[in-house]
Structure 1
């Protein structure tokens, strides 16, 4: 052994291997604080840093003046012109009075209830409220464009509040497009609403990192846009070279993020367009998160029928199981009762026509109990069986209110206790059984049969079972 060297013990080697991921993360955090990415002052450090500035530099003043604060918060340009004349500094720390109460440690294990103070600057106030003229004046008066006493810059504020003109003005005056906030976000990560598209476009034109990661979750801007259902942002980011299959700390790609986000009825088409763009850019339809949930699992859980059709058309595995042993069919059936207006029957029908494994017949009464408010879902499920053992348990599984609302349908179901399935239905089951193993949604439309028979074979809704 040469001098100046030593032997690692086996314990030390194992420890080094276990710390590899942590070292990589720390390396990334150091990169964020390099000359490419600014780290900003925390609230406690503001006054200390001001005291440490060289005597030739003007210290950053802390302002408690209510008149100045009122002028800034109301966007009173005339008052701001008087309060910040030529030669006056506009680089101020604003410490508003009041706010929410919180417990603060005072030392020696004691805590006191005091007002939470949010440090801010004139630029942050005006940029966050869209006061373009006031912001321009302050910048002309030499305000520090990247000053961030509260942990965020004015650029973060303007992007979060979707003020395109303010964002552009700040960037023109040298704002750092890759500034990292106290929460580990860059301004591009704050573009999370449809109205922020102009901000995102300006940021990218001024050098924002298209694949920059958040410190806590490792999200890229594409993750943020996909999760919030922003098709215009997604298209823009892909055009700028966004990585389509990057995973965050939860194992989610942008496609997974879009599919897993709960969606209101009015937002379904936006999320569909996002997924369409991601798949068109080559997103992997089989990528699973930490719980082995595929995009199809997630789309079924959120009952977006258009996305389910899209994923299935792009080769999604209809019978892939998550860590709990559940397939996409399990996910959709668990939420039918909460999502009846979302047309869950479309998803159940699509899954069956793409080869989903059928439910164990003994579980049908339980499914009937939880999904009875969607008779079309029940119809599709039952029409995939050639025979059913209908008992009193089935009748008890449907509440009297639901029965009255859909009486004709449930009478047809309960009548199967005394009547066998029709010959027409048995023929349908025979054909589907014969074609088992092949994609029914592709094979059946090619058969030389009338359209109404093809639709019947593909479990078209009729409002009754027979």
Structure 2
């Protein structure tokens, strides 16, 4: 090793590799913006044929680095903009603002400097994104090009993404292309409507000819996929009314229905996704369509522990024991997530699956299930009540963490007492009847001429203990 060199530590090398990757992405975005701008300039040059034609075409875009202009745009200062963009001036500007995240950038000869990310934009993009309607109207009156996209997206894309309906309407009135495609991921403005507040934007786009079944270039998603993935009930209803295809598959083999079932869901989101799936099902969605890994919507709903959605699928004929490519049934999917989804009431999902004839866990694996699902005693209760006999041993005691046992002491004491006490005659009778019905429990038991509490007992209702 020469005296002028030194050794990088592994941490430093990893940091340099990350910086190199970030630099490459930054250079790619800059090249993309440069290509968009060059393409725009060439197109404008080809259109300028006569003086008369030029008068009716937007002026060629100019690079603007004036901080005063940028400040007026970013603050929505209408009076300042009237002064900066008087009658007869051009509003076609390309702006390269500084801001956002900072990163190390190579400056040549081995020197690096810390600088802000930069991305090309226009006055239309800035005002449309921020909802400065009057400022946007002024720029459009000054002949700003509505479809100029130096960074690969139009102002219409950004107004829809930021849920600015009035700006969206203004751009469309002035001729913005409702089906413009973004450079990086091939999305149309309708694909950008991914929040509940963007509903009015979606309505305006459809009124101005947006393609209801347009596909993104990267994921092959339709607008209905986007609405389903985000649990947007009103968007879903709107798109179906406009003729959206309910069973088109994207690049991952997901229909909008599958996409809604597969999307991770917090407790507050469960009802929205259930309602979206209910609407798609009513529109003719196929609940048996599987993705590339042979996972059905029921697999996905169980993985997200959405009890109402699971019941909806089972009621409409979903196959409770279908296996995916990994050899897992829906029951496996719910048991794997119980510890993360206790607030989702996973016991309801397990109970429904068992009542519809789901396979049970191999008895020898119950201690493992106990270890992973012990924080949900109701789930354990439902599972154990599906067996007529259980071999409780020391492994069962060791599988329940001490803090969980302390919190749910009465329940786990009833479980561990089965090591010395056989199951009750009442429970054995329940198991015998359920075994006889063999997958018809959910259909037959509600029709029996029995008291409600007995029907609930047969359907594995929770009691807070086992006997």
- If the TM-score is normalised by the length of the shorter chain, which range does it land in? 0.7 to 0.9
Matches within 5 A, 1:258-269: 258-269=260-271
Equivalent residue in structure 2 for 1:53, among 22, 35, 45: 45
Structure 1 residues 338 and 431: CA distance shift in structure 2, 3 A: same
Q: Aligned pair 1:427/2:452, yes or no? A: no
Q: Quote the residue 1:128 is aligned against.
A: 129
Find the aligned partners of 1:181 and 1:212 in 2 and give their Cα distance. 13
Equivalent residue in structure 2 for 1:273, among 255, 272, 275: 275
- The SS at the match of 2:90 is coil
- Contact 2:60-2:92 at 8 Å conserved across structures: no
Moved more, 388-397 or 112-121: 112-121
Structure 1 residues 140 and 380: CA distance shift in structure 2, 3 A: same
User: What's the CA shift for 1:98?
Assistant: 4.7
Find the aligned partners of 1:337 and 1:116 in 2 and give their Cα distance. 41
- 1:242-287 per-residue CA deviation (whole Å, 9 max, x = no partner) reads 1111110011111111111111111111111111111111111011
Q: Quote the residue 2:94 is aligned against.
A: 93
Q: Quote the residue 1:389 is aligned against.
A: 391
- The SS at the match of 2:88 is coil
Structure 1 residues 178 and 111: CA distance shift in structure 2, 3 A: farther
Find the aligned partners of 1:432 and 1:49 in 2 and give their Cα distance. 71
Find the aligned partners of 1:383 and 1:353 in 2 and give their Cα distance. 12
Matches within 5 A, 1:20-419: 42-45=32-35, 46-47=37-38, 49-50=40-41, 53=45, 57=54, 58-101=59-102, 115-182=116-183, 183-419=185-421
TM-score, normalised by the number of residues in structure 1: 0.88
Q: Quote the residue 1:29 is aligned against.
A: none
- 1:135-174 per-residue CA deviation (whole Å, 9 max, x = no partner) reads 1111111111111111110100100000011111111111
- The SS at the match of 1:53 is helix
CA RMSD of the aligned region, Å?
A: 2.0
- Contact 2:92-2:144 at 8 Å conserved across structures: yes
User: What's the CA shift for 1:188?
Assistant: 0.3
Find the aligned partners of 1:299 and 1:187 in 2 and give their Cα distance. 29
- Runs of 4+ with >6 A deviation: 103-113
Find the aligned partners of 1:98 and 1:354 in 2 and give their Cα distance. 57
TM-score, normalised by the number of residues in structure 2: 0.88
Structure 1 residues 212 and 107: CA distance shift in structure 2, 3 A: farther
Find the aligned partners of 2:389 and 2:88 in 1 and give their Cα distance. 89
User: What's the CA shift for 1:107?
Assistant: 10
Find the aligned partners of 2:117 and 2:395 in 1 and give their Cα distance. 59
User: What's the CA shift for 1:114?
Assistant: 5.6
- Contact 2:149-2:155 at 8 Å conserved across structures: yes
Q: Quote the residue 1:30 is aligned against.
A: none
User: What's the CA shift for 1:176?
Assistant: 0.5
User: What's the CA shift for 1:104?
Assistant: 6.6
User: What's the CA shift for 1:448?
Assistant: 1.3
Structure 1 stretches lacking a partner, 5+ long? 1-40
Structure 1 residues 256 and 109: CA distance shift in structure 2, 3 A: farther
Q: Quote the residue 1:440 is aligned against.
A: 441
